[in-house]
Structure formats: C-alpha cells, structure tokens
Amino acid sequence: MVSVTDTPTLPTVEVFGPTIQGEGPSTGRPATFIRLGHCNLSCSWCDTPYSWDATRHDLEAEITDRPAGDLLDVVAASGEPVSLTVLTGGEPLMHQRRPGMAALLDGLDELDQDVEVETNGTIPPTDELTQRPRVRFNVSPKLAHAGMDEKRTLRPGALKQFAALARDGRAVFKFVATDRDDLEDVRDIVRRYSVPARAVWIMPEGTQPGQLLASARDLLTDPYLLRMGWNLTPRLHALLWPNERSR
Ligand SMILES: Nc1nc2[nH]cc(C(=O)O)c2c(=O)[nH]1
Ligand code: SF4
Ligand SMILES: [Mg+2]
C-alpha cells in the first residue's frame, strides 16, 4: 500500500479551511487553502511575506516540504460539500513542474474539487495545468506602486496566455489599486492584452478594515471603475479577521 508520506512533496507554508474565498469572483464560497512557499516578486505591500521574505522571516521554519497526500488529507477533512481548493503563495506556479503538483492536482480531481490558482501572472502556466478543466486562474499583475520594475512584473508571454484564458472564462485579472493612476495603468494593461472587462477585478490595498473600506470607497467615488465595466472585490478575510493567519 502507498502511504501518503510516499507521495511527492511541495514546499508548504500552511493548509487551512474550510473558510471563505476572500477575493475575486468566488468571494464568499467555502474553500480550503493551500499556501506554497517562495515568490519570484517582492511587492512592497505583500500581505504574506512569511511565505517568501527571508529578510523578515525564518523561511526554514515557515516552509516545510509536505507530501501531496498530506495536503489532500486536509482538503478531504474540510468535508465533501466544500468543493473549492485555492492554491496560493507566494507564487504557486514556481512549483507547477514538480511531481508534487501533478500528484496534488490528480488528488484534487478525485476529491471533486474546483481549483483556483492565485498567481502574479509572471510565469506561463504549463499545458499540463491548463488542460485540467477544473483549474482556473486569478491573475494579479503588479502595478507600479508594488515597487518593482515593469520588466520584472509584466511578462508579455505569460500575460498573453492568461488573457487568452480570461477570454475563455478560465481566468480573471485581479489588480490591487488605490487611485485613478492605478486604474489607468490597469486600463493600459487590459487593452494591451485584450482582457474582457467582465474578467477584470479591482481590489483595494490594505490589511486593515478601515483602510480597505476607505480605499474601496475612494475607488468607487470616481465613476471610472464602474464605467469601465470592471468588478470590485473586497478582501473579505482581511475585513473579517485582520492580521490573522490561516483564515
Ligand atoms: N480567506 C482567504 N481568501 C484568500 N484569497 C486569496 C488569499 C491569498 O492569500 O492569496 C486568501 C487568504 O489568505 N484567505
Ligand atoms: S506576488 Fe504576491 S506573494 Fe509575491 S510578493 Fe507580491 S503579493 Fe507577495
Ligand atoms: Mg494574497
């Protein structure tokens, strides 16, 4: 018999649930979360630096190689009616070619799970990933206020592929934005890659309820966002449980 500890591993920060998906088109839907370690970006306002930032966190303690079977046990423990698993990070697509990822996705299929991958949109997804019909992508390209060079954050090859998935209803683009300048940056990106308006989600910046709500109000006070036909998403988990991990 193959025990779960024999399944290939993934570098894991936390697995938790059931909770609600706090962001994007599935906001409010019950879900189990798998947070993988490491990121290829370093956003100034990142809300999960413990998943990648060795200057502020002890990554040896934060990130553990865990067998895919072990992660699947946690998903199964959420209960059968919970039919969404969110794969986040860090940047989970850094690990898409590992055997642990294939084992995890095969197992999630057996558990009848829809899968949402939270990605920064810099790494093209493999065919092995996109050919899985239940896998969708919440793509969050970083704007100038994340504090990095565009050459690092906006990767044309990857964005083209994600935009095609968005036109097929398999991906949405989710942008952290605070003001009109940010929204104009969003407009430039979605025009350049032909991302349909219905697939664009704007999310206020912040980790505290007061700041998130004020930022959301500012974004809606300017009619620009709604006139563009874009969607607004809260960070519902941050409103409900500010500063708490594994929520
Ligand atoms: N409840 C909840 N929803 C989320 N949506 C995206 C999350 C993330 O950290 O990527 C997240 C998270 O950490 N918790
Ligand atoms: S891409 Fe995401 S996980 Fe990586 S630093 Fe930026 S916000 Fe944090
Ligand atoms: Mg996040």
Q: Is 46 annotated as a binding residue?
A: yes
Q: Looking at the domain assignment, is residue 63 inside a domain?
A: yes
Alpha helices per DSSP H over the chain: 59-62, 68-77, 99-110, 127-130, 150-153, 156-167, 180-193, 209-221, 224-227, 236-240
Q: Looking at the domain assignment, is residue 233 inside a domain?
A: no
pLDDT of residue 2: 57
Spacing, Cα 18 to ligand 1 middle (Å)? 12
Q: Looking at the domain assignment, is residue 239 inside a domain?
A: no
Q: Is 19 annotated as a binding residue?
A: no
Closest ligand 2 atom, residue 118 Cα: 2
Site of tokens 């032909």: 194
3 state SS of 176: strand
Q: What is the dihedral of CA 211, 215, 221, 225, to 10 degrees?
A: -160
Q: Is 9 annotated as a binding residue?
A: no
pLDDT of residue 102: 98
Closest ligand 1 atom, residue 23 Cα: 5
The total domain count for the chain is 1
CA atoms within 13 A on the CB side of 67: 9
Q: Is 35 annotated as a binding residue?
A: yes
Q: Looking at the domain assignment, is residue 132 inside a domain?
A: yes
pLDDT of residue 211: 96
Closest CA to 17 of 9, 8, 5, 29: 29
Q: Looking at the domain assignment, is residue 188 inside a domain?
A: no
Q: Looking at the domain assignment, is residue 94 inside a domain?
A: yes
Residues sharing a CB contact under 8 Å with residue 184, sequence separation 6 or more, in sequence order:
none
Q: Is 0.95 exceeded by the ipTM? A: yes
- Enter the DSSP assignment of 7: S
Domain that holds residue 165: 9-174
Q: What is the CA radius of gyration of the chain?
A: 17
Site of tokens 């594994």: 246
The CATH code of the domain that includes 90 is 3.20.20.70
Spacing, Cα 236 to ligand 1 middle (Å)? 9
Spacing, Cα 146 to ligand 2 middle (Å)? 9
3 state SS of 48: coil
List phi, psi (to 5°) of 232.
-110, 135
Spacing, Cα 3 to ligand 3 middle (Å)? 32
Amino acid at 129: L
Please give the model's pTM, rounded to 2 decimal places: 0.97
CA atoms within 13 A on the CB side of 19: 18
Q: pLDDT below 50 — which residues of the chain?
A: none
> What percent of the chain stands above pLDDT 90?
96
List phi, psi (to 5°) of 4.
-60, -30
pLDDT of residue 4: 66
Q: Looking at the domain assignment, is residue 148 inside a domain?
A: yes
Q: Looking at the domain assignment, is residue 181 inside a domain?
A: no
CA-nearest residue, atom 9 of ligand 1: 88
